[in-house]
Amino acid sequence: MKISLTRFSALAFAASLLAATTLASAASAQDAEGIVVYNAQHESLGREWIDAFTKETGIKVTMRQGSDMQFANQIIQEGDASPADVFLTENSPAMALVDSAGLFAPVDKETLDLVPAQYRPADGMWTGIAARSTVFVYDKTKLTEDKLPKSLLDLADPAWKGRWGASPAGADFQAIVGALLQLKGEEATAAWLKAMKENATPYKGNSVAMKAVNAGEVEGAVIYHYYWFGDQAKTGENSKNVGQHYFKNQDPGAFVSVSGGGILKSTQHMKEAQAFLKFVAGKGGQDILKNGTSYEYAVSGESNDKLVPLADLNAPKVEASELDSKKVVELMTAAGLI
Amino acid sequence: MPHASVVVFATLVAVMSLVPLGFIGWVTADVGWQTVKALVFRPRVGELLVNTILLEALTIPLSIVLAVTLAWLTERTNVPVPRLWSWLAVAPLAVPAFVHSYAWVSLVPGMRGLQSGVFVSVLAYYPFLYLPVAAALRRLDPAIEDAAASLGLGPWRVFFRAILPQLRLAICGGSLLIGLHLLSEYGLYVMIRFDTFSTAIVDQFQSAYNSPAANMLGGVLVACCLFLLGLEILLRGNERYARVGSGSARPADRRHLGWFVVPGVLLPGTLGVLTLGVPLMTLGRWLYLGGTEIWRLDAVGNAFVQTIVLAVAGGVLTSIAAAPMAWLSVRAPGRFQRLLEACHYYVGSLPGVVVALALVTITVRLALPLYQTFATLIVAYVLLFLPRAMVGLRASIAQAPVELERAAMGLGRTPSQAVRQITMRLAAPGFAASVALSALGITNELTATLMLSPNGVETLATKFWSLTSEIDYVSAAPYAVMMIVLSLPLTLLLYAQSKRTAGQ
């Protein structure tokens, strides 16, 4: 294989220059029209919302994919210079963080009216767009109903040492810890996290935790409800031995986490950004939750009929806008979990 | 000597490479000693340090033994179809480390922890040692071995006393490369649940973005890199390895294996199954399950084009940035040059997140027009892959005898002409190889790309990663396949380059 090297380099150069210019022009083209969405929701769901919105309105949307807290902190760093117009999350703490930095613009009243009050903060600076319930997924071949933990707090018991898992580094689990902190206070939370460091196997990601339960590595895991449904709808190979246990009776483990959407004050495209959020929180976006493959709860309108209805989950009362992510990270770092 | 401009250029690159370190230093100063103490001297950091040391101490020696054995088999014995085996030994480079890791986890779901980490790391990274060692073996002058044999040494002692010492540069360079990879790799270890500094930094990152905790972990990681770097310099020594004399080295004879041919075929064959068979089998299963609908041309095609563009542009620029330093380190070594070189090396061992974080913060605060632009991402790639480019370039410049440069100058060429017309030509294969190596790295780079890419730019690696984290392995399969397809020609090029001897 003889390649003339000078020719190779020349070609490479030409290609890279060409590429640089196309990319640069593409990037500037995006800035000139349409909006930028920082999407910390699942990529496929974000993509579905965006495609449907563009189809309906003709407004171009550029999506940037990342995770809740990463984006929240990134937006704070970016400040007024943030390229983002809209921010979508999986959980509330990230929304609360950006809100406390005063970077959100008020959401249009029309949009807020679509969403029941319990799924949005009182100040109207962001709104819930979807919801997810905490569950304990367990290995049906090892655990029966009567052997399941009655409360999330039971998992701190030495009897559970080495038997359960979670994804402590993820925003999902940290939202659950945030709920625990709000419901039970700092001391109890710190003690529970310390026990968790002893008892729990840390996984990177909820889906990985569910796979581990399925493979018999641990007997159970604290994750959200839709992983199981999503896997069942695909090949089912990662959840065939897995059952779902809802803690209910207002246990911290019955926490329903609200995914949020907000508009950044610094946006140059206020009208389009408001239209997008209205679409996501309204019928168009909520129908995608109902009929699509995300299996997350809709916050306005009906949810997918395969799910346990939100009303039956008997979730604890948690003020979403006051979930304290900073404190949670501090406590988890102190416990050596992250 | 045409030093001045080269030194200036190399210094510029070195200064640029100090940016992430400066950033960590600034954060350290900013948060104060109390916080630093609380964040660095805690049990979690101890756990990570133990993990990292064990990983390095086990993976590198195993890789050396494996790579040297394989290289000797394919270059110096009469093992059947040596070409095939040597190609199979390089091919794992075409499979991204996190795809290796995923394939194994699919096959053996319980895989996790240190042993698994060492196992997959060796499989994914030993080609970085095989390549330079095989190339060096091919170039050795058998006259030295003949001399050793004529002095009464048996074949084993000839190997250990005459051959192995001549492989020192190749082994040191390759080991350093692997060592640095182990420090900065993220995806591979996430998949098999083995915590290293890089995974812990990303965890902190996802929890709090640019928290002091993440940066302090970054600081400890930098200390690890500097340690490795110092170790390599100690072990490398400064002997000359270029052959000077009348005539040229004849090709070495291949040793007859006799009945040893059985293990001689089994070893590379088994490795081929482990490094290629397993990933391809896993991917095959996903593709079979997904059918045709997972090949969404708009998404896959788009990511494919963007990846190619970034890889080529980044690869060429990285090699250009590395060239002056590579030349200096061979031709004009000195204390200051050592320092510059250290800068070039340490930065590549930083995890993408550390480099990316520094660049994000700096661009967002000081250079807003550059924030989230193509240019910033390329700068990150250049920094991250400088060591790869350096290793290839340094070895090939080292083989271009300085006497030729001097002869050219004696014939009336200016120093810079001599470098251009002699050394650059001789080192051209090394340059191409370093472009290929950097481009390969870029194709499979994950964390920095996630953070720095301009809005709307998605590469194969980032798409694959987000889909696998959504447990959508079926949809992720095409991206993994495309990464492999894209890495194949680069790997082939590398292979072809290593087959050629310098100066041909």
pLDDT tens track for B290-309: 877 778 777 888 899 999 99
Tell me how crowded residue B98 is: count the other CB atoms within 10 A of its CB: 26
Closest Cα partner for A170 from A202, A218, A124?
A: A202
Give the burial class of A24: count Cβ atoms within 10 A of its Cβ; 0-12 exposed, 13-18 middle, 19 or more buried. Answer: middle
Yes or no, beta carbons of A36 and B455 under 8 Å apart = yes
Q: Does B389 touch chain A (CB under 8 A)?
A: no
C-alpha–C-alpha distance, residues A28 and B373, integer Å: 10
Size of interface A-B (CB pairs under 8 A): 169
For residue A75, the distance in angstroms to the closest alpha carbon of chain B comes to 10
What are the DSSP calls for B378-430, one per residue?
Answer: HHHHHHHHHHHHHHHHHHHHHTS-HHHHHHHHHTT--HHHHIIIIIHHHHHHH
The two structure tokens encoding residue B445: 């780079």
Q: What is the 3-state secondary structure (H, E, C) of B244-272?
A: CCCCCCCCCCCECCHHHHHHHHHHHHHHH
Closest CA to B468 of A207, A157, A9: A207
Q: B494: which chain A residues are within 8 Å (Cβ-Cβ)?
A: none
- Per-residue pLDDT, averaged over B375-390, amounts to 90
- What the block records as the tokens of B479 is 């991206």
Contact criterion met (CB < 8 Å) for A169 and B493? no
Provide the chain A residues 61-100 that lie in CB contact (below 8 A) with chain B: 62-70, 72-74, 77-79, 81, 83
Do A211 and A194 contact (CB within 8 A), yes or no?
no
Mark yes or no for CB contact A230/B471 under 8 Å.
Answer: yes
pLDDT tier, B230 (very low <50, low <70, confident <90, very high otherwise): confident
B 219-248 residues with CB < 8 A to A: none
pLDDT tens readout for residues B32-69: 888 888 888 888 888 899 999 999 999 999 999 999 99
A81: phi > 0 → left, psi -120 to 50 → alpha, else beta; which? alpha
Q: What is the pLDDT of residues B413-446, one digit of tens each?
A: 888 788 778 877 888 877 888 888 888 889 888 8
Q: For residue A75, which of B378, B380, B210, B212 has the smallest C-alpha distance?
A: B210
pLDDT for B241: 64
The one-letter amino acid at B387: P
pLDDT on residue A90: 94
B466 → closest Cβ in A65, A174, A202: A65
Q: Cβ contact (<8 Å) for B455 and A65?
A: no
* B110 vs B334 pLDDT, higher one: B334
The pTM (predicted TM-score) of the whole model is: 0.80
CA nearest B465: which of A28, A67, A214?
A67
Per-residue burial over B456-479, b if 16 or more Cβ lie within 10 Å, else e, is: bbbbbbbbbbbbbbbbbbbbbbbb
- Residue A214: predicted pLDDT: 92
pLDDT of residue B246: 62
Query: In this structure, how many other beta carbons lie within 10 angstroms of the beta carbon of residue B14?
Result: 21
Indicate the annotated binding residues of A for Fe cation: 42, 90, 226-227
Q: Does any CB of chain B come closer than 8 Å to the CB of residue A277?
A: no
- pLDDT surpassing 50 at residue B501: no
B208-229 mean pLDDT: 80
Q: What pLDDT does B35 receive?
A: 84
Q: Does B288 touch chain A (CB under 8 A)?
A: no
The alpha carbons of chain A give a radius of gyration, in whole angstroms, of: 22
Q: Convert B48-110 into a string of H (helix), E (strand) and C (coil).
A: HHHHHHHHHHHHHHHHHHHHHHHHHHHHHECCCCHHHHHHHHHHHHHCCHHHHHHHHHHHCCC
User: Containing H/E element for A259?
Assistant: strand A256-264
* Of A133, A110, A119, nearest in space to A229 by CA: A133
Residue A113: CB atoms within 10 A of its CB come to: 11
pLDDT at residue A5, rounded to an integer: 43
Domain annotation for chain A: domains and CATH numbers: 35-131+256-309 (3.40.190.10), 132-255+326-335 (3.40.190.10)
Whether the predicted pLDDT of B207 surpasses 80:
no
How many Cα atoms are found within 13 Å in the side-chain-facing hemisphere of B188?
A: 26
- 10 Å CB burial of residue B230 (0-12, 13-18, 19+) is exposed
Q: How far is A283 from chain B (nearest CA, A)?
A: 25
> Among A4-18, B174-188, B343-357, B469-483, which is the least confidently predicted range?
A4-18
What CA–CA distance (Å, rounded) separates B101 from B186?
Answer: 11
The whole-chain average pLDDT of chain B stands at 84
pLDDT tens per residue across span B127-143: 989 988 988 888 787 88
Distance from CA of B31 to the nearest CA of A (A): 15
B374 CB neighbour count, 10 Å cutoff? 23
Whether the CB of B371 is below 8 Å from some CB of chain A: the reply is yes
Rounded Cα gap, residues B360 and B209, in angstroms: 11
Interface of B with A in 119-178 (CB under 8 A): none
Q: Which residue type is seen at A316?
A: P
A 191-210 residues inside an 8 A Cβ radius of B: 202-205, 207-208, 210
Top-ranked range on mean pLDDT: pick from A273-277, B182-186, B191-195: A273-277
User: B residues 187-226 near A, CB within 8 Å?
Assistant: 190-191, 193, 195, 199-200, 202-211, 213
Which member of B43, B312, B317 has the closest CB to residue A336? B43
| Joined tokens for residue A102 | 């005063």
pLDDT at B278: 92
Averages of pLDDT over runs of 10 residues in chain A (338 residues) are: 44 51 48 83 91 94 88 88 93 92 95 93 94 95 91 95 92 93 95 95 88 92 94 86 93 94 95 96 94 91 89 90 88 90
